[in-house]
Amino acid sequence: MSEGVEWALHSCLNLAWAGPDRPVTAARLAAYHELPAPYLNKQLQALVRAGIVVSTSGPRGGFRLARPLARITLMDVVAAVEGPDEAFRCAEIRQQGPGGGAPASYRLPCAFAHAMARAELAWRRELAGQTLEDVREQAEAQAPAAPERLRRWLANG
């Protein structure tokens, strides 16, 4: 999974903490965690295409959440940034080399492909079952001053 997923998740949380009426630019979101703004902007554009955030242009423009954190799952963000493709792609290498001459043994899917698909389904279900609101609650329990620290930082910039 790319680092863009982590960046997108934190950006969503920071947008929530900034408040619904305060658009934040990609440059400002990137500066808060000392990230490269052009790369973070790509992640934010992916979130826009997925309907997770909205973008407004102009001098007071920036990014805002498109819906409440309780209606955004971790899987929504992962799929927006990484795309819908499966993480494991079986290339059927078992059909190459010395074992490649036994086509009858390849009627069923590769056992590794089957195991990986089951694991990925469980992973996707787990991510789909957790909202950004769930994570916000945990983040604020771990660092209660974080929302106000972000808002002060944004106000001074």
Q: Which helix (H) or strand (E) holds 112?
A: helix 111-128
Any idea what the CATH number is for the domain that residue 27 is in? 1.10.10.10
Which pTM was predicted? 0.88
Enumerate the β-bridge partners of residue 63. Answer: 24, 55
pLDDT digit string (tens) for the chain, length 157 residues: 889 999 999 999 999 999 988 999 999 999 999 999 999 999 999 999 999 999 999 888 999 999 999 999 999 999 999 998 888 888 888 888 877 777 777 778 889 999 999 999 999 999 999 999 999 999 999 999 999 999 999 999 7
| Domain containing residue 17 | 3-155
Q: Are 137 and 143 within 8 A, CB to CB?
A: no
Instruction: Kindly state the helix (H) or strand (E) to which residue 138 belongs, with its residue range.
Output: helix 132-142
User: Into how many domains does the chain fold?
Assistant: 1
Cβ–Cβ under 8 Å, residues 50 and 80: yes
How far apart CA 1 and CA 120 sit, in angstroms, is: 13
